Amino acid sequence: MNTSPLPIVRLMPKADARSIRFGYPWVYSNDLVVDRRTKNIEPGAIATLQDAERQDMGVVAVNPNSRIIVRMLDRNPDAVIDQNWIAAKLARALAHRDRLFADPFYRLIHAEADGMPGVIIDRFGDLAVVQPNAAWADKLMPEITAALQDMVGVKTVIMNGSGRARALEGLEETMSITAGTAPDAPIPVPMNGAIYMADVMGGQKTGLFFDQRPNHAFAASLSKDARVLDVFSHVGGFSLAALAGGASSALAVDGSAPALSLATDGAAAMGMADKFSTRQGDAFDVLSALGSEGETFDVVVCDPPAFAPSKKALEPGLRAYERVARLAAPLVREGGYLVLCSCSHAAEITKFRNASVRGIGRAGRSAQIIHTGYAGADHPLMPQLAESGYLKSVFFRL
């Protein structure tokens, strides 16, 4: 008999309890008995999940306002979800990152794959940015903050409660400092020999994208003495890495003036301002204009935002990726390299690669695939959750 003080939620008989036992971390609302009692559970509450035979399956977070109504937290039905539990998750994640990186700049917690469903934590030295994209984490931000200070040793914790994921959870957008003080300037981040400027208070997501680190490095290995074009550059992800790798010049293109300003500051911090230039504007328009101007480059990189953030958006998203490839391919010199990226989990690798190849073909170019890259090892994949493998970068030689 269950003697836990936690409320109980129960799978419907038709639900696939075996997949949950084998590691799948979510229960959708149509697989759960959603009676009046369940509907009255406060979003973010901790509960015990049972199968249809009333056997305990573990401790979960419940949000009746979300299609993902249950997120598995711990398969031990006796687990207590508190600051100590969070600290243990952080310690396990930190041990992995300490093996990977000499400098404390990385993704520390990658949601379900690191055992904290819906939670993103990026570390910038003694500062951490937390994205609590699930209601349980929103409620436990004080405990997350304290555990980060005690276990990781950070001094400043920023809660960045914005983005599409929170909206799907029924959570409000919010931004706050939960410990320490906000930095008064962008944070310099060393990565792949480059220096990036992270605006942790006003930039995209947490202020910097750590996930492309290995792909930045591979692109840099192709960039010695090269003329490089970095489209959808944000703060200069690929272009600054290319300069660190010996590129003769790099042009960064983005629609955001603040992002390009940060990229310019990064190039200056590297002592390479004379090799770096920017062009602000709609990426498709700039690609078309560069083609009309007869410009060509040794390495062209296009790293757009998620064109297919959901299955519903998949087909128009694939057409957008094809268009990127069609416009970018003519800008690559004979024997040069085209790097095409997608962070859309709905566009799995085969569909994305095929769309890219169609675009290259429509541009009248032929290609070899020389490398396929994914997110770095500080962005682990949960094997049972395909959605965690969102990033892919395909390197073509044209």
Estimate to the nearest angstrom the gap between the alpha carbon of 212 and the chain centroid.
9
pTM reported for the whole predicted model: 0.95
Rounded to whole angstroms, how far apart are CA atoms 79 and 61? Answer: 12
Tally of CB atoms within 10 A around 19: 14
- Measured on CA atoms in the order 260, 387, 139, 42, is the torsion positive or negative? positive
pLDDT for the residue numbered 1: 52
pLDDT for the residue numbered 106: 98
CB 313 within 8 A of CB 343: no
The residue to which tokens 């249809």 are assigned? 52
Tens-place pLDDT, residues 120-179: 999 999 999 999 999 999 999 999 999 999 999 999 999 999 888 898 899 999 999 999
User: Could you tell me the domains of the chain?
Assistant: 8-74 (2.30.130.10), 83-179 (3.30.750.80), 192-397 (3.40.50.150)
Going by C-alpha positions, the residue among 138, 104, 19, 124 that lies closest to residue 382 is 19
pLDDT for the residue numbered 163: 84
Tally of CB atoms within 10 A around 37: 11
Per-residue pLDDT of the chain in tens (398 residues, 90 and over written 9) = 556 789 999 999 999 999 999 999 999 999 999 999 999 999 999 999 999 999 999 999 999 999 999 999 999 999 999 999 999 999 999 999 999 999 999 999 999 999 999 999 999 999 999 999 999 999 999 999 999 999 999 999 999 998 888 988 999 999 999 999 999 999 999 999 999 999 999 878 899 999 999 999 999 999 999 999 999 999 999 999 999 999 999 999 999 999 999 999 999 999 999 999 999 999 999 999 999 999 999 999 999 999 998 889 999 999 999 999 999 999 999 999 999 999 998 999 999 999 999 999 999 999 999 999 999 999 999 999 877 789 999 999 99
pLDDT for the residue numbered 24: 95
The residue to which tokens 């979800």 are assigned? 81
Query: How far, in Å, are 95, 195, 219, 253 from residue 192 at the CA level?
Result: 21, 8, 11, 20
Cα separation of the two ends of the chain: 65
**Residues, the chain:** 398
Going by C-alpha positions, the residue among 215, 211, 175, 207 that lies closest to residue 188 is 207
* Side chain identity, residue 70: V
Beta bridge partners of 339: 301, 395
